Amino acid sequence: MILAITCCFASETPETKSAEIRLLNGRPTLLINGREQYPIIYALTDLPGGRLTWEEMPQHNIRRMAEEGVRLFQFPLFFDQIWSGEGTPLDLTVVQKLIRGVTDVCPEASIMIRLHVHPPQWWYKMHRGECVSYADGECVEYDEAARFKRYQHNDPANGVIRYSFASQLWLDTMTGKVAEFCERLAKTEEGKSVAAIQVAAGIYGEWHYWGFIGNIPDVSPSMQAHFKDWLREKYGTEERLRVAWNRNDVSFDSAEVPNAKDRAEANKSLFLDLSTHRNLVDYYQCQHALVADCLIHFSKTVKEHWGRPIVVGAFYGYFFPMFSKETLGGHLALERVLNSRYVDFLAGPQCYFPDAFELGEPARSRGLPATCRLHEKLWLDEYDTQPNISALTPIGASSKTPGYDQTINTAVAIVRRNMAVSAVQGQGFWFFDFGVAGGRQYSEAKDNGSNGWWDFPPLLKVIGETRSVFTRESGRPYRSDADVLMVFDTDVYYELSTDISLLAPVSAITGYNPSSAWEAGVAADYIHLDDLHLVNLKQYKIIVFNNTFRITDEQRTFIGNYVAKDGRHLIWFYAPGYSDGRIHSLENMVATTGIKLGILPPGGEAGVSIGNDAFHYQYSFGAQAVSPLFFVSDKEVTPMGVYSQNGAVAIARKELPESKAWFVGLPDQSGGVMKYVLKQTPAHIYGTDKEVFYVGNGMVIMHTGKQGLHRITLKNGKVSECLVPTGGATIIFDADTGQIIDH
């Protein structure tokens, strides 16, 4: 350790960094100057007090992370900091100082800049006509308040004044400034240390559309003009437009972004009526394609103007969960971004809910890491939640404080668990530290001041040890040991209501099915429906089709010809294939699943009862109606569960000639049905004693909050045992030998 620290802090001239992502050993690999660098990053927040690398608290935490072997560091940058007025050049002084704040304590550090492509606040005053407008409310001026705050403090506020993504002036202006930034910084001494740029836009730089949480964007003049152009490109002739919209009075010039009344009318049912609301589907597709194209555009700008190879990516690909706001401001154009050669990585915060935060719960990625791997893109998890060691931080606390061991064991278990999520997927990770700016999720002594969330010796120790293990294990060829494949879709949201109450069954699937799969003790990969043809199907015994309510004829044919084979179990949730992109029908669902189905009359409480000699379970959506609601009418199935309100078959399994089909008519808001069904399949179960397993990259990583003896059964039949102390643990096993690698 002394030698490593000496190397890191020796006085030396930074090496000029050249970086790329390349597929090596079956995983997207970060190469810096041709050398593999395991992607674990320490990132500073944008909050005042924690964003300037040269200040005492941020630099202290940079140094502490460097001592544990971290060599990748990130800080945020806003054009408010470097561009003072129209017609003036950028002042890069603060950027150079930010880089030096890192390299002064770790000269060999590689820097990632989170570059927000927002214009400064003075730009909005000059160009108010280029800003977003909302279909359901006026814009509000928040940024004049006399208070020192983060640059993106008001980003999620209702009616916030920000640029429209459709503004050509914004795009042209910021393209020029991003190009200037790259060309000039790359030539500086400090710029030698920069290896990556994360382009950031939208709310919190996460490419969410302005106002999507509480408003309906975007009816601005810029978006109206862009929508008309988009329709011209899609339909070509007005006759095709009129047929699609079922309106004889519409033209390219008269077509408008749907207003609040249009959307309220469409929102009366979960599935939009495609014969009358195709205009809404078109607008949603237009908005999401626009945001994705802006992301790709700025990524291209960085690569073309940096002057040497540089890694570029963005926050994008969020899926679990999106507050039931996927359509208004989520990331639905995922495949568009993944297919771009200018985007090297995607990133997102790990899930906060449901069941993702506390000890014993399954932490998980916000996106689809396996789908990123299939496209040779790096996925980076952001770990931005605080380990709870508040009981040990008041004045006078020490290792002799009652409960010390339990508190430390819990914090260490959670830190290692959160690091494991992406590691088993052959992907990467960063710590995002609100603590240096005084951010708190847990109460601490009032006179403690600010401190890094991971700046505590036992936590730093586990970070260093776990980073070493993951770095070592990444040297072997990547192998996924999952035999369960979880399939999700984004295109379906274009055809769904944006009413949160109507979306309840959809949100139950995307919220609870993933966590339940981990809690069932199985290993699963998570992909986009569009990438089903890219996977090695022979690996998977069970394929779960989650929110795949929209399945095209081509996709249905592929599933029938290649997926529903070899005795594989196909588990279908709620309304599989109800839409083919043109119409909604039961016939589509029957053709998709191979099971005869019907539609229940609307109204009444939706609940399901499962009962047999070995298992009894009931669940419901309470008084909330779920519509449409489907039941099994097929006489050749094995019923597994019935609707509580009428006894109709809700869950069933059917033996097909070459596969087994499951239908689950009502998802579960606590996930019990997912665990029940998986345990009726040949999926390998690693453990059943309140453990969560992360499997892949040659590792089986067990996380649990339950004290005592645990037995883990590997896929090769070997059984390993371990003792878990009070406070829980996350333990890394070799997937083949069962030996504990690190604990």
pLDDT tens across 476-491, in order?
A: 999 999 999 999 999 9
Q: Which helix (H) or strand (E) holds 290?
A: helix 278-306
Q: Which domains does the chain have, with CATH numbers?
A: 2-120+167-215+288-473 (3.20.20.80), 221-283 (no CATH), 484-678 (3.40.50.880), 691-742 (no CATH)
* Per-residue pLDDT at 443: 73
Residue 445's pLDDT band (cuts 50, 70, 90)? low
Q: Which helix (H) or strand (E) holds 172?
A: helix 168-186
Mean pLDDT of the chain: 94
Tokens for 721, please give them.
């045992």
Which of 13-27, 387-401, 562-576 is predicted least confidently? Answer: 387-401
* Chain centroid to CA 599: 33
Tokens for 96, please give them.
């150079």
What sign results for the dihedral spanned by CA atoms 606, 571, 504, 631?
A: negative
**Percentage of the residues of the chain whose pLDDT score is greater than 70:** 97
Q: Is the pLDDT of residue 364 over 50?
A: yes
Q: What is the DSSP letter of 271?
A: B
Average pLDDT value for residue range 661-673? 93
* Per-residue pLDDT at 149: 83
Nearest to 697 by CA among 449, 475, 398: 475
Nearest to 362 by CA among 673, 675, 704, 669: 704
Q: HSE of 723 in the Cβ direction (CA atoms, 13 Å)?
A: 2
* Per-residue pLDDT at 737: 97
Q: Which amino acid is at 181?
A: F
Query: For the segment 223-281, what is each residue's pLDDT rounded down to a tens digit?
Result: 999 999 999 999 999 999 999 999 999 999 999 999 999 999 999 999 999 999 999 99
Q: Model pTM greater than 0.75?
A: yes
**Percentage of the residues of the chain whose pLDDT score is greater than 90:** 87
Q: What is the DSSP letter of 137?
A: B
* Per-residue pLDDT at 391: 82
Which of 117-121, 422-426, 437-441, 723-727 is predicted least confidently? Answer: 437-441
Query: For the segment 668-692, what is each residue's pLDDT rounded down to a tens digit?
Result: 988 889 999 999 999 999 999 999 9
Q: Is the pLDDT of residue 3 over 70?
A: no
* Per-residue pLDDT at 2: 36
State the DSSP string of 623-686.
Answer: T---SS-EEE--TTEEEEEEETTT--EEEEEEE-SSEEEEEESS--SSSHHHHHHHTTSS----
CA-to-CA separations, 38 to 299, 342, 395, 473, 474, in angstroms, rounded: 22, 21, 37, 10, 8
Q: Is the pLDDT of residue 661 over 50?
A: yes
Residue 537's pLDDT band (cuts 50, 70, 90)? very high
Residue 447's pLDDT band (cuts 50, 70, 90)? low
What sign results for the dihedral spanned by CA atoms 64, 67, 68, 74?
A: positive
* CA 120-124-125 angle, 5° bins: 115
Query: For the segment 207-221, what is each residue's pLDDT rounded down to a tens digit?
Result: 999 999 999 999 999
* Per-residue pLDDT at 743: 56
10 Å CB burial of residue 438 (0-12, 13-18, 19+) is: middle
CB atoms within 10 A of CB 592: 26
Which residue has tokens 């004889």? 248
